[in-house]
C-alpha cells in the first residue's frame, strides 16, 4: 500500500514552500506552484543556487494575495496579487535553456525583494497564455510546465529519505528536496521506476528521475550550506555523472481534478 502523505507547493521559485491537505492539479503543475519567479537585471532566473538566503523567505496563499515573509520575522512581509487586476509590463525571461513570456510585478514589490535580498531583482508572473513546454525528450507531447526546473511535479518516497538518513550522521528533513508529493509505503527509491500511476483517481506518469543540484545542501531554516546530503548521495545514487533523488512527474488527466493527502497511490499493470 502506497499513500500520499504530504502535498507541497512553492509559489515563488526557490522560496519557502506551503504544506497543503489538498491541491488542484493543472497542466503546468499544482495550482500556484512556481507561477512566480525572481529574475536579475538580464531577465535570467535566480534561485537558492546563487542566493541561499531565499530559503528564509516563506510564502502563504491568502486570497486574493500571495503573502511573502521572513520566516524568522513574519512582520516583515509583502502582498502580491494572486491574479493581477490590471495589465503588467511584459518581459521575456530565461530559465535554463528556455525563454518565455512573463509579466513584471509592480515596482514596490520588486524593490522589496531587491532590498531584502541585496541584489537588483524583479518578480515576474507566468500568465495563462505562456506555454513553456516540458522537456520533450522525456515528457509526452503537449505537456507544459511552470517556472519549475523542468517538469510539473516532483515525487519522493519517504522510504527513500529514510534510507538516505540511515547513512547520514545527522538526519535531514524532506524539505531539503522540495518535493510536491511525498508518499509512504514500498521500498527506498522505487519511485525511480514508476511509470503510470494514480493518486486517488487522478492519473500521473513518471517520466524521469530527478537529477539534483546544490540546493539540497542548503538548510531551509538557516540558509547555511554544508557538504551533505550530496556527499553521501554521490556514493550510491550517482548515475551518468548525475545524482538522482525523486521522480519527475506529469499529469495525465484533464478538466478539474484534485489530489488529497491520505489518498492511495496505485500503479498501473504496465508499470515496471
Residue ranges covered by each domain of the chain: 2-29+135-267, 34-125
Question: What CA–CA distance (Å, rounded) separates 123 from 112?
Answer: 10
| Cross-strand pairs, 101 | 92
Cβ contact 33:17 at 8 Å: no
Strand arrangement of the beta sheet that strand 122-125 belongs to: 36-39, 122-125, 98-104, 90-95
How does DSSP classify residue 129? T
What's residue 16's pLDDT?
98
What's residue 270's pLDDT?
57
Residue ranges in the chain whose pLDDT is less than 70: 269-272
Element at 179 (helix H, strand E): none
What pTM was computed for the model? 0.96
Element at 109 (helix H, strand E): helix 107-117
**CATH code of the region 2-29+135-267:** 2.40.33.20
| Peptide bond between residue 55 and the one before it cis (omega within 30 degrees of 0) | no
Q: How far is CA 121 from CA 15, 76, 107, 112, 205, in A?
A: 14, 18, 10, 9, 35
Task: Please write the tens of the pLDDT for every residue from 178-228.
Answer: 999 999 999 999 999 999 999 999 999 999 999 999 999 999 999 999 999
What's residue 272's pLDDT?
43
CB atoms within 10 A of CB 223: 16
| Cross-strand pairs, 133 | 144
Question: What CA–CA distance (Å, rounded) separates 192 from 78?
Answer: 39
Amino acid at each position: 500500500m502506497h499513500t500520499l502523505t504530504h502535498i507541497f507547493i512553492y509559489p515563488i521559485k526557490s522560496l519557502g514552500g506551503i504544506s497543503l491537505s489538498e491541491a488542484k492539479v493543472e497542466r503546468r503543475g499544482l495550482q500556484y506552484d512556481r507561477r512566480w519567479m525572481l529574475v536579475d537585471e538580464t531577465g535570467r532566473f535566480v534561485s537558492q543556487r546563487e542566493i541561499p538566503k531565499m530559503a528564509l523567505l516563506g510564502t502563504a496563499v491568502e486570497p486574493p494575495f500571495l503573502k511573502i515573509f521572513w520566516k524568522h520575522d513574519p512582520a516583515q512581509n509583502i502582498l502580491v496579487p494572486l491574479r493581477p487586476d490590471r495589465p503588467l509590463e511584459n518581459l521575456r525571461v530565461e530559465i535554463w535553456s528556455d525563454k518565455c513570456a512573463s509579466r513584471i510585478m509592480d515596482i514596490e514589490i520588486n524593490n522589496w525583494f531587491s532590498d531584502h535580498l541585496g541584489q537588483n531583482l524583479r518578480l515576474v508572473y507566468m500568465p495563462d497564455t505562456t506555454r513553456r513546454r516540458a522537456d520533450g525528450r522525456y515528457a509526452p507531447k503537449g505537456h507544459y510546465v511552470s517556472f519549475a526546473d523542468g517538469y510539473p511535479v516532483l515525487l519522493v518516497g519517504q522510504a527513500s529519505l529514510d534510507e538516505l538518513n540511515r547513512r547520514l550522521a545527522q538526519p535531514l528533513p524532506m524539505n531539503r528536496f522540495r518535493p510536491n508529493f511525498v508518499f509512504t509505503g514500498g521500498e527506498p527509491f522505487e519511485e525511480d521506476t514508476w511509470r503510470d500511476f494514480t493518486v486517488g483517481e487522478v492519473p500521473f506518469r513518471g517520466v524521469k528521475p530527478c537529477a539534483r543540484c546544490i540546493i539540497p545542501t542548503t538548510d531551509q531554516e538557516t540558509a547555511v550550506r554544508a557538504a551533505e546530503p550530496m556527499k553521501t548521495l554521490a556514493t550510491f545514487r550517482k548515475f551518468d555523472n548525475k545524482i538522482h533523488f525523486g521522480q519527475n512527474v506529469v499529469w495525465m488527466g484533464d478538466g478539474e481534478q484534485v489530489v488529497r493527502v491520505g489518498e492511495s497511490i496505485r500503479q498501473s499493470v504496465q508499470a515496471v
